[in-house]
A = this chain, B = another copy of it.
Amino acid sequence: MKQALKIVNCGIQAAASVVGRVEKNGPIGGVFDLHGEDDRFGQRTWEKAEAEMQRLALNTALAKGKLREGDLEAIFAGDLLNQCVGAAYGLKDFSVPYLGLYGACSTAAEGLLIASLLVSNGAFVRAAAVASSHNCTAERQYRSPLEYGAQRAPTAQWTVTGAGAFVVGPSAASDVLVRAVLPGTVIEKGVRDAANMGAAMAPAAADTLLRFFRESNTVPGDFDLIVTGDLGYEGGDILCDLMAIDGVPIRDVYNDCGMMIYNRDTQDTHAGGSGCGCSAAVLASYLLPKLKSGELRRVLFLGTGAMMSPQIIQQGECIPAVAHLLCLSAKEEKEWKLC
């Protein structure tokens, strides 16, 4: 396989997040831009609520960046719903070219990665990436309707009700720089348990991360933080084990957005948060501000996605996964050269 790592020169010019009640009540609840008390966002159905979160997130990101929709040349967006209706309906009133993605929970990273490659190479001046998930839409689509009160396995994660929107633009206009991207390949290691997405995704994260260190000639110690999107406690632990087995231990600098967003002891969310909205909201409102302030200086962000289809699981297949990587840095690190 050719070198997958791509050095880029662009930044995240603006970002915003919208979350639900459980996320607002979590340990980092204070950082999110908008939240809803009843998770409905004024809509009649959960699907429309999720779409509304995407609209609110992008509008808020534009406002925070003092930008208008006319400043965007494209929107890369998706979510977990069948036909990605959260994105299609939530963003349909923006008069901006729309390119739909399906990367499962890796969607925020996938959108940021494609937007970064296009902005960095001069195809676009500015493009947005938007992703969302909603506990009430995802649980009924992928597992069972919440009203059934099905018992949840210890390895099960809690789908985040949240959305994140990002504007990728020129480095000079951005406080956080995108320094490199590495798109992941599809990895499937035999996991077929729909209540253990972390185990399905961890090998994909390890594959992408190992390739990054190999191709960039960096080591985990070069980074303040290596953060995955939603492996949760179970998947995160597996990832750290897999990396240690390969001689690249990361545990000292590792964390996961799904571990950050809920309080494990008090919120009954089992193995942590998951969903496109998990990594999107945590990156937009918790990690990027720390990169802006310089509290974090070099971060590897991996969006992790399990392409889990209830129908195909019933047909006896395993769950393929993918992990896309972004190497981010604070502006003060602009002299730092990878490779």
Chain A residues in the interface with B (C-beta under 8 A): 1-2, 4, 6, 44-45, 47-48, 69-74, 78, 81-85, 88-89, 91-92, 94-104, 110, 113-114, 117-118, 120-123, 125, 182-188, 307-309, 311-312, 315, 317, 320, 322, 324
Check if B83 sits within 8 Å of A309, measured CB to CB: yes
Further contacts, 17 of them, CB under 8 A, given A2-B71, A83-B308: A1-B69, A1-B70, A47-B309, A81-B309, A82-B83, A82-B309, A82-B311, A84-B307, A96-B185, A97-B185, A98-B186, A98-B322, A99-B101, A99-B113, A101-B102, A117-B118, A117-B123
| Complex Cα spacing A73 to B100, Å | 20
Check if A103 sits within 8 Å of B103, measured CB to CB: no
**Hey, which chain B residues are within 8 Å of A185, CB to CB?**
94-98
| Complex Cα spacing A33 to B62, Å | 47
CB distance from A136 to the nearest CB of B (A): 13
Instruction: Knowing A97-B184, A103-B100 are in contact, say whether A47-B311 is a contact too (CB < 8 A).
Output: yes
Instruction: Knowing A98-B322, A121-B121, A322-B98 are in contact, say whether A88-B307 is a contact too (CB < 8 A).
Output: yes
Instruction: Knowing A122-B121, A186-B92, A307-B85 are in contact, say whether A44-B99 is a contact too (CB < 8 A).
Output: no
**Hey, which chain B residues are within 8 Å of A104, CB to CB?**
83, 100
User: Which residue of B2, B73, B113, B315 contacts A2 across the interface (Cβ within 8 Å)?
Assistant: B73
CB distance from A131 to the nearest CB of B (A): 12
CB distance from A212 to the nearest CB of B (A): 12
| Complex Cα spacing A45 to B315, Å | 8
CB distance from A192 to the nearest CB of B (A): 13
CB distance from A121 to the nearest CB of B (A): 4
Instruction: Knowing A309-B83, A315-B47 are in contact, say whether A99-B2 is a contact too (CB < 8 A).
Output: no
Check if A92 sits within 8 Å of B188, measured CB to CB: yes
Check if A97 sits within 8 Å of B183, measured CB to CB: yes
| Complex Cα spacing A206 to B4, Å | 38
Ranked nearest first, the 9 interchain pairs of A and B with the lowest CB-CB distance are A97-B183, A121-B121, A88-B307, A102-B102, A92-B186, A83-B309, A100-B102, A82-B82, A84-B102
**Hey, which chain B residues are within 8 Å of A44, CB to CB?**
315
User: Which residue of B4, B91, B125, B307 contacts A83 across the interface (Cβ within 8 Å)?
Assistant: B307
| Complex Cα spacing A92 to B321, Å | 9
Check if A114 sits within 8 Å of B99, measured CB to CB: yes
| Complex Cα spacing A293 to B182, Å | 38
CB distance from A327 to the nearest CB of B (A): 15
**Hey, which chain B residues are within 8 Å of A85, CB to CB?**
307, 309, 311-312
22 contacts between A and B (CB under 8 A): A1-B70, A4-B73, A4-B97, A47-B311, A83-B312, A84-B307, A85-B312, A88-B320, A89-B317, A89-B320, A92-B186, A92-B320, A94-B186, A97-B182, A97-B185, A98-B185, A99-B103, A99-B110, A99-B114, A99-B183, A102-B102, A118-B123
